[in-house]
Amino acid sequence: MTTITISKKLMKNDDLVILPRREYEKLLSVSRKSMSQLDSDLEEAIKEVRNGKAIGPFSSIKELKKALEK
């Protein structure tokens, strides 16, 4: 059986997470896909704002509906 020693500094700040490598790699790949989708969505939103398509914030639902009817 393998024994490892973990620094008390890591345990004190709750900065230690242990995962199997495959699980870690799955999390990384999902994270990368999400970030690329988020980046493209953000770019699209910025373009809409620059083109005047995005407006707001709205103080009431009536204002929102009015803006959506345009």
For 10-47, how does the pLDDT look when each residue is reduced to its tens digit (9 = 90+)?
777 777 788 899 998 888 888 777 787 778 888 888 88
Distance CA 36, CA 16 (A): 27
- Confidence tier at 58 by pLDDT (50, 70, 90): confident
What predicted TM-score, i.e. pTM, was given to this entire model?
0.39
Average pLDDT of span 53-64: 75
| CA atoms lying within 13 Å on the CB side of residue 7 | 5
Between the two ends of the chain, the Cα-to-Cα distance in Å is 69
Per-residue pLDDT at 54: 67
Per-residue pLDDT at 46: 82
